[in-house]
Structure 1
Amino acid sequence: MRTLHPRLGAGFNRLWAASAVSNLGDGITMVAGPLLLASITADPVLIAGGVLAQQLPWLLFALLGGAVADRFDRRRLIVLTNLGRALALTVLTVAVATGHVPVVLVYLVLFALGTGETIVDTAGGALLPLLVPPDLLPRANARLSATFTIANQFAAKPFGAWLFGLAAAAPFGLDALTFVASALLIASLPIADVSAAGAPASGRRSLRRDIAEGVRRLHGHPLLRTLAAAMGAGNIAFGAAFAVFVLYARQRLGLSDAGYGLLLTTFAIGGLIGAGVAVRVTARFGNAAVLRAGLLVEAVTHATLAWTTRPLVAGAVLILFGVQTVVWGVITSSLRQRLVPNHLLGRVGSAYALLETGGAAAGTLIGGLMARVWGLTTPFWVAAAMMGAILLVVSHRLADADRR
């Protein structure tokens, strides 16, 4: 007999704990990395290069990471990758502690962390359906999203800055330990990996053919193709608008640096709320209606930010935007995990992630140029129009999200 709130199981709890630990470490390094670079150089280009070093692997290796995740034992792959990331951070910790830390070393470590992320995130998403029944996937994804928000967005940022002030090497040493702890938890998962199930010949095929198979599966599924296209185009709009967000907060809203940080926190608050309501909202209204509402919320968010000069209004709409972002992510992740055979899940997920990342990168470049030529609010108005157009184009195609 089923209970009203069935347990997700011991296996999921270990995956959840591993995610919480590594997200805390990731958030600490996300804060400490720029602080370290700022202590080495005052060149804004070199400091910005650290962000690029960690993001670039998603553009270079996302598809490859998906193919690797589908070809090898995912549990072992995550363990080895996390131990490798721990080793890279250990090298950086020693370098910082001894006072011999060139900028290029920081770049190399951040690039290594980003490369590992392309493998671990893809493989971890493909492991989840092996641990959780299909009907509980939305609940599991919502819990993982909530954990990310609490550990990475709330707890890690101030803690990482405090640790860096205490001892510059401390944040990186602690992050190395979090990767070791995460690896041990993943190694204890009570599953038999079936990453190659249904594809016995995959080991004899080239990685290029494996990647192509994942891309074809994504392109060949009407609903998943629609979601991926909507997300890719939507991230162009998002990237364009938020490329200049720090200048928007200062010049348009009149916020101080502390006020800017507080404004960013509102997005995390919305994400936490979204993780709490995602399952109930989709159960009440259905996936299709919630996905359509999400696209509308994005259009309204960008338009409101373009219009307002009041920080409270901007903060309120960003909370709503944070809710929609997490709810959308829970729905789309759960749909992929249900609709894609497990032996293809890594490749399909990585192709989806590439569209997300590529859209955001393109939008960031476009938004910066638009703001320079036509003013700070232009990217937000353009983003609002884009999201409205996306909603009109894909609205009828989202009906399939309820016929899964």
Structure 2
Amino acid sequence: MRKVIGRFVPERLGSSFRWLLGSSWATNLGDGVAMAAAPLLIASLTRDPFLISLGALIGWAPPLAFSLYAGVLSDRLDRRRIVLTANAVRLAILAGLITMIATGTATVAGALIALALVGITEVFADNTTATLTPMLVARDDLMVANARLQTGFLTLNQLAGPPLGALLFTAGATWPFAGQFLLVTAGLVMVSRISLPPHGREDGARAAGLRQDLREGLGWTVRHAAVRTLALTILIFNITFGAAWSVLVLYSLERLGLGPIGFGLLTTVSAIGGLIGTTLYGTITRRFSLGAIMRVGLILETLTHLGLALTTSPWAASAIFLVFGAHLSIWGTTAVTVRQRAVPAELQGRAGGVNTICIFGGLVAGSLIGGALAARYGVTAPFWFAFTGSAVFVAALWRQLMHITHDEPEAALQG
């Protein structure tokens, strides 16, 4: 067993990274459990579509509202302490929610507020956790480390967590949240075992103010050619992705003729593809440059939208989802590695915050576009929009994409 663990998480990554990996896997499983349990809880308390939709909005709003502030804090303060504090607060909120459910005093308003507060604590914990890997792992090992973190996210958060959460909910509404409580507790204990090098700033350096820190983080991102291109790519491709995926359930029902179970299986197939991608990641990065991997990945995403716009076959769509899932894991791991290599340690939090804003801002904008297009032109219209927009963007930035993996923090500062 030790030999197997050693091959999966090499000794050179260090014991602190292993604790971080264990914590990430535990909390990802807890988040996956809550992913299914939270909407089920709201639906058990009300059948009002507006209130149920608020439950979905709560998942999007905290990252948009708090990511930049979380980034400022993680660049100013002790990052380990931030993660411990955020998870401790999350445990307190979960304890309150569990008590309300167990005593039969839970209301829609109370549940929505509790879930929103849990989401806010996750933003601060997740943003800061993302800054720890480059502090613990050598630069050349970042690809391996991020691939292992991505494996846990796909396996536990996407594959195992949601069905486990639904199963626990059928046994009783308190069980999935009690399970999340235990998993977050385990994650907190493991983070407490991590040893970080000195970081953060002295009190005098913090006096500059929140706005100046925000401007510094945004300004650095805009001036750094590679990171700027990466952020813009993430924003644009999440707009096109969000447009298509916002109507995916209607697409699967009306275009592919699948039922609810079939729709769920598409997500499962995509997650399986992601696992394949993480398994092959080391081999791929030994043979191809990161710039080439990112180019190919964006072409695959563009062709994914085209393939789904054209097909009516569930089998063809499943094959597309399998490849797309592999692309998402490979491209996502590469993007994180590129950003971690390029961004100085004291700006990791704010750069991560900008990245999160681009992700969720793109998804929200894309979902609005996709809904409007589908309502007016049919369920395939968002996929045609996604294909066209992605193709135009890849063509416009084709040359810059080969230089996106520039990883010297001091260089490539172009206006």
Which category of TM-score, normalised to the shorter sequence, fits these structures? over 0.9
Tell me the distance in 2 between the aligned counterparts of 1:111 and 1:55. 10
Contact 1:202 1:210 in 2 (8 A): no
Residue matched to 2:164: 159
Tell me the distance in 1 between the aligned counterparts of 2:405 and 2:283. 15
Matched, 1:57 2:23: no
**Aligned AA (2:60):** Q
Tell me the distance in 1 between the aligned counterparts of 2:182 and 2:203. 36
**Aligned AA (2:301):** E
Of the candidates 75, 83, 88, which is equivalent to residue 88 of structure 2? 83
Deviation, 1:401, is: 3.6
Residue matched to 1:332: 335
Local SS of the residue matching 2:183: helix
Report percent identity of matched pairs: 39
Residue matched to 2:322: 319
Q: Where does structure 1 lack aligned partners over 5 or more consecutive residues?
A: none
Residue matched to 2:192: 187
Local SS of the residue matching 1:37: helix
Tell me the distance in 2 between the aligned counterparts of 1:202 and 1:374. 55
Distance verdict in 2 for CA 1:220–1:193, change over 3 Å = same
Local SS of the residue matching 2:403: helix
Matched, 1:106 2:144: no
Contact 1:370 1:378 in 2 (8 A): yes
Aligned length: 400
Contact 1:211 1:347 in 2 (8 A): yes
Distance verdict in 2 for CA 1:191–1:254, change over 3 Å = same
Residue matched to 2:102: 97
Deviation, 1:201, is: 4.8
Tell me the distance in 2 between the aligned counterparts of 1:388 and 1:270. 23
Q: Where does structure 2 lack aligned partners over 5 or more consecutive residues?
A: 1-5, 408-415
Tell me the distance in 1 between the aligned counterparts of 2:208 and 2:123. 21
Tell me the distance in 1 between the aligned counterparts of 2:200 and 2:189. 20
Distance verdict in 2 for CA 1:403–1:338, change over 3 Å = closer
Of the candidates 251, 262, 267, which is equivalent to residue 264 of structure 1? 267
Contact 1:195 1:342 in 2 (8 A): no
Contact 1:53 1:108 in 2 (8 A): no
**Aligned AA (1:63):** L
Tell me the distance in 1 between the aligned counterparts of 2:324 and 2:303. 9
Of the candidates 276, 280, 294, which is equivalent to residue 279 of structure 2? 276
Residue matched to 2:311: 308
Of the candidates 299, 303, 316, which is equivalent to residue 302 of structure 2? 299
Distance verdict in 2 for CA 1:353–1:227, change over 3 Å = same
Contact 1:40 1:103 in 2 (8 A): yes
Aligned-CA RMSD value: 1.5
**Aligned AA (1:373):** R
- Where do residues 228-243 of structure 1 align in structure 2 (5 Å cutoff)? 228-243=231-246
Distance verdict in 2 for CA 1:192–1:285, change over 3 Å = closer
Matched, 1:356 2:359: yes
State the TM-score, normalizing by the size of structure 2. Answer: 0.94
Of the candidates 99, 116, 121, which is equivalent to residue 121 of structure 2? 116
Contact 2:226 2:406 in 1 (8 A): no
Contact 2:13 2:141 in 1 (8 A): yes
* More moved, 176-185 vs 242-251: 176-185
Deviation, 1:44, is: 2.1
**Aligned AA (1:129):** P
Distance verdict in 2 for CA 1:345–1:201, change over 3 Å = farther
Contact 2:229 2:404 in 1 (8 A): no
State the TM-score, normalizing by the size of structure 1. Answer: 0.96
Tell me the distance in 2 between the aligned counterparts of 1:114 and 1:350. 15
Contact 2:295 2:402 in 1 (8 A): no
Tell me the distance in 2 between the aligned counterparts of 1:96 and 1:257. 28
**Aligned AA (1:66):** G
Deviation, 1:320, is: 1.0
Distance verdict in 2 for CA 1:125–1:150, change over 3 Å = same
Tell me the distance in 1 between the aligned counterparts of 2:405 and 2:46. 53
Tell me the distance in 2 between the aligned counterparts of 1:193 and 1:115. 27
